[in-house]
Amino acid sequence: MTVVLPNSIFYHLGRTGGHWVSHVLWRAGLVEARLAALHLTPAQAPFDPLFAPKPFTFCFVRHPLTWAASLWRHEMEFGWNESQVSDVARSDSFATFLERLLERWPTAPCSTHMKPFYEPCTFIGKQESLTADLARALTAAGERFDEAVLATPPMNESTVRRLREAARAPRHLLERVMAAESEFNGRFGYAGIPEALVAPEGWSPPPIWPVLPLSADADAVARLTEARSLDLERVTWAYRLSDGSIIAPRVRNERKQWAFVEAIEALPSGDGRKALVQCANDPYFAYLMSLRGYDVDFLCDDPAVLPLRLMKALAPEINVRTAQVLDASRTEATYDVVIAADLLEGSPFGESALAWLRTRMKPGAVLLGSWPVLQAPEAPAIKASVHEFAMPWAAAHFTPRYLHALLRETGFEGAEVLWEVGESPIMERRDDIERIARLLGTDEGETLAFGVVRARATATSVDPAVQSAGRVFGSTRDFLLLPTDGLPLAAERTIAIQAQQLEEARTTMAALRQAVADREADLRQAREAVAKAAVDTAFQVHEARIAGAEQIDLLRAENQRLRTELFLTRAHEDDADEPGTTGPPDVS
């Protein structure tokens, strides 16, 4: 995923160590934002405002052959994505994959897909010197970081043994690829052919998947799955048929399928032992267990939704069971192996169901289970739901401590995680994932995962009270009821999370109250100002009235004086006009 840093942008070119780089950048505290989709080229995301002030960009490239091998293993392991490569080169054979790449892009079969990433970048590092080149890129970009974070352990590539062994091709074919990549190799200094990719003389690749002894065209597949057209809702796992055709599921589950297949193959042969396979609607693992010689009961939610014809074509001896039938049988300590393919992924009572299954297992019986993981190793035993648009348990994830404590409480020992693989954040879940990652202090890009766990049933029986404890709550806001030995830490952590959420709510409420108080103070000041202005205005009017009255009195007095003076003046003039009058008038 494209990562925005304070001074630069990292573009994630797939199969070059980008997940490790992204995690290191998070540990260094440099991540400002992660931009979807997973692999954006610089040309695909030029309009985001986050890009504008970041003139320094960097990415990493890789030896063309190891890049092609890593890409093929990844697509085989996780399912083929829709892409230019998948459209023209998809194949279960690595050699065929390379030949199709050469046929479609004869001059640059690998670098054609890397060029849109590295060509516009300011700095181009190499996967073979990832740590040193990342330090150089960050230093050149002016990023401030602690070099100790560069000691973060690398993230392994494919852990599927048979895929690593199958990623080989004849030397002459590998040489053709290198010759076609001469310009890229000359620019970045790549030469030679990795010997691990060279197929020995006369070598043929080992079988990739278990192949079903069926040959079917599309119509026959539709009949086997009991649908007019292929009903993918009834298929969870990918079925490889002997004629090369595939019954493909609606949702890609290849990675989980690989994990269970290899775990099943590591079990001892059946020799008449009994196995119980739990899965919502798909008998694939029940079929594999029957191939290994186990007497298999298939535990499903509702037999009415199963592709029964497909089951009968694969293994007619599989016995279909429901929880009600199995419970009514009152069978105790029957099974040597129990496979819980999706018990904790889609059931609101998965924990109680696990305890119930334990009562059907012999001492020492093997449990293989799939578990959605909340990657917080130091966190206590808690369970969290990461989205709100489905049932609250539909996407519950469990911390490793929760898982181990749950297994101990329900009568298992020696739990070990066989597979643990991170999930890419789903856009609809981003807000919830960010919230959980923030609360737990984990890397947003590494918070969710899934694992396949193996454990053994203890020699002691399970306390029936464990089953009656009910469901475990699906939110970090709830106290953990199961398992009891995880309760103190879980309660402490839950209280801490609740306290943080409460503090955030209090802070928000305090800010709102302060805003209201500030508004009220502003209004009070405005009212006081208006009142003062009104008083001042009234006082000024009053003073103006007094001054006006005084002025009127003065004018009236002056007017009276002038009238008197005028009168006297006229009277004097009249006296002066009369004969014999020479002096002033007699005022007596």
| Count of domains for the chain | 2
Residue 412 and residue 454 in contact, taking contact as beta carbons nearer than 8 Å:
no
Q: Do 151 and 10 share a structural domain? A: yes
Q: How do residues 47-62 score in pLDDT, each as one tens digit?
A: 666 666 688 999 999 9
- The CA distance from 191 to 218, in Å, is 45
Q: With 60 as the cut, is the pLDDT of residue 537 above it?
A: yes
Which one of 176, 197, 218 terminates a domain?
A: 197
Q: How do residues 218-238 score in pLDDT, each as one tens digit?
A: 555 555 555 433 344 567 888
| 209 part of a folded domain | no
Q: Do 265 and 187 share a structural domain? A: no
- The CA distance from 18 to 37, in Å, is 14
Q: With 50 as the cut, is the pLDDT of residue 475 above it?
A: no
Which whole number is the average pLDDT over 269-284? 88
| 477 part of a folded domain | yes
Q: Do 477 and 368 share a structural domain? A: yes
| 7 part of a folded domain | yes
pLDDT of res. 476 = 33
Q: Do 31 and 115 share a structural domain? A: yes
Q: Do 406 and 286 share a structural domain? A: yes
| 419 part of a folded domain | yes
Q: Do 264 and 119 share a structural domain? A: no
| 357 part of a folded domain | yes
Q: Do 259 and 187 share a structural domain? A: no
Cα torsion 478, 483, 487, 491 to 10°: value is: -20
Q: How do residues 118-147 score in pLDDT, each as one tens digit?
A: 999 999 999 999 999 999 999 999 999 999
Q: CA of 199: how far to CAs of 103, 110, 168, 196, in Å?
A: 21, 20, 5, 8
Which one of 501, 517, 552 terminates a domain?
A: 501
Q: With 90 as the cut, is the pLDDT of residue 24 above it?
A: yes
| 544 part of a folded domain | no
Sign (positive/negative) of CA torsion 108, 109, 111, 114?
positive
Residue 256 and residue 452 in contact, taking contact as beta carbons nearer than 8 Å:
yes
Which whole number is the average pLDDT over 434-439? 75
pLDDT of res. 127 = 96
Check which CATH number belongs to the domain holding 350 and give it.
Answer: 3.40.50.150
What mean pLDDT is reported for the chain? 80
Q: How do residues 173-204 score in pLDDT, each as one tens digit?
A: 999 999 999 999 999 999 999 999 999 988 88
Q: Do 154 and 23 share a structural domain? A: yes
Q: Do 168 and 282 share a structural domain? A: no
pLDDT of res. 252 = 79
Q: Do 426 and 348 share a structural domain? A: yes
Q: With 50 as the cut, is the pLDDT of residue 161 above it?
A: yes
Q: Do 158 and 76 share a structural domain? A: yes
pLDDT of res. 347 = 63
| 418 part of a folded domain | yes
Q: Do 50 and 137 share a structural domain? A: yes
Which whole number is the average pLDDT over 465-489? 40
Higher-scoring residue by pLDDT: 496, 521: 521
Could you identify the residue written with the tokens 């003073």? 543
**What percentage of the chain has pLDDT greater than the value 90?**
34
Confidence class for position 472, pLDDT limits 50, 70, 90: very low
Higher-scoring residue by pLDDT: 472, 76: 76
pLDDT of res. 178 = 98
Which one of 501, 532, 556 terminates a domain?
A: 501
pLDDT of res. 101 = 97
Q: In terms of C-beta distances under 8 Å and separation of at least 24 residues, what long-range contacts does 402-408 make, across chains too?
A: 402/374, 402/480, 402/486, 402/490, 403/371, 403/373, 403/451, 403/453, 405/381, 405/483, 405/485, 405/486, 406/351, 406/354, 406/381, 406/482, 406/483, 406/486, 407/367, 407/453, 407/455, 408/483, 408/485
Higher-scoring residue by pLDDT: 443, 577: 443
Please choose, from the candidates 97, 133, 102, the residue with its C-alpha nearest in 3D space to the C-alpha of residue 13: 133
Q: How do residues 60-101 score in pLDDT, each as one tens digit?
A: 999 999 999 999 999 998 888 888 999 999 998 999 999 999
Q: How do residues 366-384 score in pLDDT, each as one tens digit?
A: 999 988 887 776 655 566 6
| 221 part of a folded domain | no
- Which domain range does residue 263 map to? 254-501
